[in-house]
């Protein structure tokens, strides 16, 4: 069955006019995955509500009727390893993979999403234009600027687009290296007409995102998603979701949030409340009171992630009554010392109270998120995590406890961007697994090898582009990446440089020319505060 026929739209697409820009907007994964992305949904709807754009969707497995000669082809990238699917789609469309190989007969290839906003450099050669920041702030200026040079040659188009705040044209910047296997020396525009820095664009509003389509074909079947908060006020020093999306914004309860929920509940009875720290919305409990109305008794409510000290018995009771059996909280570690280093403002007593309240409210399970290999971590911090786990079992013996545990991966625009992946992390994952399973916990570690690959891409520069292309042919495994490094030896730094090495605080970072919410000097101050606690 055609998945597009099963969609229930919450917006009204416009009929494109005769001069509308023919556009393909792609998601580099299957329809089920892509249509579950709130960002992809909203960007597509934004284009579809314009009469001057004729947008068609493309996924790996299905597509709408595509224009024969598109002028713009866009991608939303939210997972690093989907880059290979971008190349596959470009090949299917007979578009050269590298921007430098395209001419006036080819469409402009643009991309956006959290991966590209954080660090587009490993993928810079594949894109003509990268949109840095929030779609609400950048999509309209992008289309307006393109309309102004629609009939110009490719070089004129790119130079014009490069003048728009938040639009990054990688081909107009030159990267020089101190040596080909060493650090970056300079990142500079090709000439004085090109801005030396590109600033991420921020949507400053109390109106946030909500689903534009509901479908049973989504990975979360028939869910209507509402963004309750954006960014996070906690500012854990490793957290890209907090630092890259500052400032912390909340949807206005009465003017935005409730009207959005009412629209969605006309087409589905499954509601997802999204955000890095949903329960820190200043009117969260007013929202819960609203959802507790008798006419919403059949609505299933899911909450993305909660601040531990906001989990009350009343909240647990509401969720349990709405078919939610478990909640998710991020504790990172059972060590209060380590939580101080990473700026996780949370005590073990608050974690135990959360568990007690969840059990008293009728929930059946809690999933905790943890992390190993954080800067400053010592073996005794793992012992503290095991002790916390034991204490939680005693506090709420009937709850089912799960710890999902990842390895610290450095991310650009965060205070820990200069730290590499801890080589002891894999052993520490195994130690936690042994200790927690003996206590009856369900331990779910993320792959250490995937963390290594993620770090390579998150701290990568343009030199790893050939490596990514080569690895695509070898297969996406750590062995494939190591094989590609061996093949390209002498043409780029070794794997350790990108993944494990601690970088000098004064070296040029791959994203140095891309200005995030906070300047580098401020990130260094936050890092110094953390290191003083080591």
- pLDDT at res. 48: 98
pLDDT tens digits, one per residue of 299-311: 999 998 888 988 9
pLDDT tens digits, one per residue of 254-295: 999 999 999 999 999 999 999 998 999 999 999 999 999 999
**Is the CB of residue 29 less than 8 Å from the CB of residue 60?**
yes
- pLDDT at res. 144: 98
Cut 0.85: pTM above it: yes
- pLDDT at res. 4: 95
**Calpha distance 326→2 (Å, rounded):** 34
- pLDDT at res. 477: 78
Q: Which residues contact 241 (CB under 8 A, 6 or more apart)?
A: 231, 232, 276
- pLDDT at res. 309: 87
**Calpha distance 144→161 (Å, rounded):** 10
**Residue 339's closest CA among 311, 374, 309, 367?**
374
Q: Which residues contact 409 (CB under 8 A, 6 or more apart)?
A: 421, 451, 454, 455, 458
Contacts of 391-399 spanning 24+ positions with Cβ under 8 A = 391/348, 391/352, 392/351, 392/352, 392/355, 393/439, 393/440, 393/441, 395/352, 395/355, 395/356, 396/355, 396/356, 396/358, 396/359, 396/366, 398/359, 399/355, 399/358, 399/359, 399/363, 399/364, 399/365, 399/366
**Calpha distance 471→441 (Å, rounded):** 37
**Calpha distance 464→460 (Å, rounded):** 6
Tokens of 155: 């070089």
- pLDDT at res. 253: 97
Q: Which residues contact 54 (CB under 8 A, 6 or more apart)?
A: 16, 20, 21, 22, 23, 67
Q: Which residues contact 254 (CB under 8 A, 6 or more apart)?
A: none
pLDDT digits (tens), the chain, 534 positions = 799 999 999 999 999 999 999 999 999 999 999 999 999 999 999 999 999 999 999 999 999 999 999 999 999 999 998 999 999 999 999 999 999 999 999 999 999 999 999 999 999 999 999 999 999 999 999 999 999 999 999 999 999 999 999 999 999 999 999 999 999 999 999 999 999 999 999 999 999 999 999 999 999 999 999 999 999 999 999 999 999 999 999 999 999 999 999 999 999 999 999 999 899 999 999 999 999 999 999 999 999 888 898 899 999 998 999 888 999 999 999 999 999 999 999 999 999 999 999 999 999 999 999 999 999 999 999 999 999 999 999 999 999 999 999 999 999 999 999 999 999 999 999 999 999 999 999 999 999 999 999 999 999 999 999 999 999 988 877 889 999 999 999 999 999 999 999 999 999 999 999 999 999 999 999 999 999 999
> How does strand 72-76 pair with strand 108-112?
parallel
pLDDT tens digits, one per residue of 57-104: 999 999 999 999 999 999 999 999 899 999 999 999 999 999 999 999
**Calpha distance 26→33 (Å, rounded):** 12
């Amino acid at each position: 069955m055609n998945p597009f026929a099963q969609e229930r739209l919450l917006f009204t697409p416009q009929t494109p006019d005769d001069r509308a820009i023919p556009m393909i907007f792609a998601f580099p994964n299957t329809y089920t995955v892509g249509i579950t992305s709130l960002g992809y949904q909203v960007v597509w709807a934004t284009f579809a509500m314009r009469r001057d754009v004729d947008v068609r969707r493309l996924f790996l497995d299905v597509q709408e009727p595509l224009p024969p000669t598109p002028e713009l082809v866009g991608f939303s990238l939210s997972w690093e390893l989907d880059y290979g699917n971008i190349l596959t789609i470009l090949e299917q469309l007979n578009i050269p993979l590298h921007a430098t190989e395209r001419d006036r007969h080819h469409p402009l290839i643009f991309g956006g999403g959290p991966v590209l906003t954080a660090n587009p450099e490993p993928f810079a050669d594949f894109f003509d234009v990268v949109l840095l920041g929030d779609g609400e702030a950048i999509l309209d200026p992008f289309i307006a600027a393109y309309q102004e040079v629609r009939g110009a040659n490719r070089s004129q188009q790119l130079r014009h687009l490069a003048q728009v705040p938040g639009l990054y044209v990688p081909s107009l910047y030159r990267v020089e290296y101190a040596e080909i296997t060493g650090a970056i020396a300079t990142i500079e525009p090709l000439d004085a007409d090109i801005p030396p820095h590109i600033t991420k664009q921020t949507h400053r509003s109390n109106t946030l995102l909500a689903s534009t389509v509901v479908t049973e074909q989504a990975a979360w079947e028939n869910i209507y998603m509402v963004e309750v908060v954006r960014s996070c006020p906690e500012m854990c020093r490793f957290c890209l979701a907090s630092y890259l999306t500052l400032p912390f914004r909340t949807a206005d309860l009465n003017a935005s949030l409730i009207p959005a929920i009412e629209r969605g509940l006309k087409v589905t009875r499954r509601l997802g409340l999204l955000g890095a720290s949903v329960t820190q919305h200043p009117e969260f409990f007013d929202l819960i009171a609203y959802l507790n109305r008798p006419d919403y008794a059949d609505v299933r409510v899911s909450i993305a992630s909660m601040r531990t000290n906001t989990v009350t018995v009343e909240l647990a009771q509401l969720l349990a009554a709405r078919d939610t059996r478990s909640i998710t909280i991020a504790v990172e570690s059972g060590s209060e010392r380590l939580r101080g280093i990473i700026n996780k403002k949370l005590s073990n007593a608050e974690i135990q109270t959360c568990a007690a309240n969840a059990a008293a409210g009728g929930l059946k399970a809690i999933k905790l998120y943890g992390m190993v290999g954080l800067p400053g971590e010592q073996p005794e911090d793992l012992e503290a995590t095991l002790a916390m786990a034991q204490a939680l079992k005693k506090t709420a013996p009937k709850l089912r406890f799960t710890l999902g545990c990842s390895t610290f991966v450095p991310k650009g625009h965060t205070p820990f961007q200069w730290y590499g992946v801890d080589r002891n992390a894999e052993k520490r994952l195994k130690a936690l697994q042994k200790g927690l399973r003996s206590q009856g916990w369900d331990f779910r570690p993320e792959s250490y090898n995937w963390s290594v690959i993620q770090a390579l891409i998150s701290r990568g520069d343009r030199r790893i582009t050939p490596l990514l292309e080569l690895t695509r042919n070898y297969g996406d495994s750590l062995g494939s990446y190591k094989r590609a490094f061996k093949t390209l030896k002498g043409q780029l730094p070794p794997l350790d440089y990108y993944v494990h090495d601690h970088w000098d605080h004064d070296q040029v970072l791959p994203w140095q020319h891309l200005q995030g919410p906070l300047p580098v000097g401020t990130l260094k101050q936050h890092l110094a505060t953390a290191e003083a606690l080591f």
